[in-house]
Amino acid sequence: MRKILIVGAGQSGLQLALGLQSHGYDVTVMTNRTADEIRGGRVMSTQCMFHTALQHERDLGLNLWEDQAPRIEGLGVSVAGPDGGRAVNWVGHLDGYAQSVDQRVKMAGWLETFAKRGGQVVVHGVTVSDLDYFSRTFDLVLVAAGKGELVSMFGRDASRSPYDAPQRALAVAYVHGLGPRPEYDFEAVRCNLVPGVGELFVMPCLTTSGRCDILFWEGIPGGPLDVFAGVKDPGEHLRLTLELMKTFTPWEFERTRGGVELTDAGGVLAGRYAPVVRNPVAQLPSGGLVLGVADVVVANDPITGQGSNNAAKCAAAYLEAITAHGDKPFDADFMQGAFDLYWNHARHVTKWTNAMLAPPPEHVLQLIGAGGQVQSVADRFANGFDNPADFEQWFFEPEKAGAYLDSVAPQG
């Protein structure tokens, strides 16, 4: 039985561990927190997952909260106008519903499930010197912990990383009490774009205390949304969140008038990081090799909501690569090949995400505007969140965008 070590207990690491476990591999997961510590800690992300990523969970029997989490059937876009209203406002319909489950709920539950199924969980921080030893005692070592010392082993791929500094300041608040949306009676993610300022995303979620909504500001660094650095008090974080909604997205602020409160003291998060693609294989001081997973090797800005989706798809690609590899050694060629299988998907996400961080060119403004006039445009944009490769056909190039708009323009 082949022995595999996975360092990190997030979406990709645990999904891969549980998948390998189901195929009979001897899997060890190392994490710096217990399930109870994860469940009782601070929120980690926004994690809206779309159909394809959710299906990977279903295929492994890991959709443990599917009947409890809100079913997100649409994705809407609003663009703030100069008068304080919305210059653009539409919602696209998803072909398959999306869901968001607080990672505190999911990762704690998956970690317990992995242990109950016979997997070995080691609660311990891991250093590079630890990996040096483990690389000699395991057939394969994967690093799925996206922060800290271990990530620095994986060199930045400058050819795939156009940004060397954070492009957004991020601030998340999980809340109860947000009022219903008056425009429609189904659940939807809302993307509110404030030109020159940033974005507000609002999405329904299942958290430790039941259904909630996530308020997620992405602010251009140095701009009016970049005010959360150094804020330690959760109540002050929420006050700033609502104040900015009142100023820049008053249509969303209206939904807070019944009174909103944080789900819990750990229901806020703020920070920033530079989007980066890293080399997937790291060499340890002894010469041993380790393979990077998900955010360790492809860390996009969350503006397109792809982090957990990418993680699920990375885990699925690596599971396919490992199980197809048989008894052959997990050498550098295998590791690069496994990453390449994942990159076939992730490259589209990285291209799209980096494009969305930049000021939109004229043809993109026309496409977003057309979503309010032609429902099929809104629907195609919404479903691109599940299949970002589709954007290659109509989004990036003015000629393709123009041809697409011509093809869907109302006749007569």
pLDDT in tens, 104-150: 999 999 999 999 999 999 999 999 999 999 999 999 999 999 677 89
**Predicted pLDDT of residue 150:** 92
**Predicted pLDDT of residue 97:** 98
Same domain, 119 and 156: yes
% of residues, the chain, pLDDT over 90: 96
Same domain, 153 and 38: yes
Same domain, 159 and 180: no
**Predicted pLDDT of residue 146:** 67
Same domain, 301 and 288: yes
Closest CA to 247 of 198, 188, 202: 198
**Predicted pLDDT of residue 411:** 58
Closest CA to 339 of 278, 288, 286, 285: 278
Say how many CA atoms lie within 13 Å of 93 toward its Cβ: 7
Give the whole-angstrom CA distance, residue 310 versus residue 161.
Answer: 17
Same domain, 182 and 266: yes
Which amino acid, residue 365?
L
Asked if residue 229 belongs to a domain, the reply is yes
Question: Residue 119 maps to which CATH number?
Answer: 3.50.50.60
Same domain, 19 and 159: yes
**Predicted pLDDT of residue 383:** 98
Mean pLDDT lowest among 142-151, 285-294, 342-351, 383-392: 142-151
% of residues, the chain, pLDDT over 70: 99
Question: Residue 267 maps to which CATH number?
Answer: 3.30.9.40
What is the mean predicted confidence (pLDDT) over 69-87?
96
- 300-336 pLDDT, tens per residue? 999 999 999 999 999 999 999 999 999 999 999 999 9
Asked if residue 53 belongs to a domain, the reply is no
Neighbours of 68 (CB within 10 A): 12
Asked if residue 62 belongs to a domain, the reply is no
Same domain, 131 and 257: no
Let me know if 190 is exposed, middle or buried by CB neighbors in 10 A (0-12, 13-18, 19+): buried
Give the whole-angstrom CA distance, residue 245 versus residue 257.
Answer: 12
Same domain, 351 and 221: no
Same domain, 238 and 174: yes
* 203 close to 190: Cβ distance less than 8 angstroms: yes
**Predicted pLDDT of residue 351:** 98
Q: Number of folded domains in the chain? A: 3
Residues 6 or more apart whose Cβ sits within 8 Å of residue 151: 143, 145, 278, 292, 296
| Average predicted confidence (pLDDT) for the chain | 96
Same domain, 142 and 215: no
Structure tokens at 235: 């109540």
- 230-261 pLDDT, tens per residue? 999 999 999 999 999 999 999 999 999 999 99
- 172-187 pLDDT, tens per residue? 999 999 999 888 889 9
Asked if residue 55 belongs to a domain, the reply is no
Asked if residue 64 belongs to a domain, the reply is no
What sign results for the dihedral spanned by CA atoms 31, 36, 41, 45? Answer: positive
Asked if residue 206 belongs to a domain, the reply is yes
Give the whole-angstrom CA distance, residue 254 versus residue 183.
Answer: 13
Can you tell me whether residue 119 is helix, strand or coil?
Answer: coil
Asked if residue 126 belongs to a domain, the reply is yes
pTM of the model: 0.96
Asked if residue 286 belongs to a domain, the reply is yes
**Predicted pLDDT of residue 212:** 98
* 200 close to 216: Cβ distance less than 8 angstroms: yes
Domain, as residue range, for 339: 3-44+103-163+277-357
Closest CA to 86 of 360, 361, 369, 303: 369
Using pLDDT thresholds of 50, 70 and 90, give the confidence band for residue 412.
very low
**Predicted pLDDT of residue 149:** 84
What's the helix, strand, coil split of the chain in %, to 5? Answer: 40, 25, 35
Same domain, 288 and 350: yes
Same domain, 219 and 155: no
Give the whole-angstrom CA distance, residue 75 versus residue 87.
Answer: 17
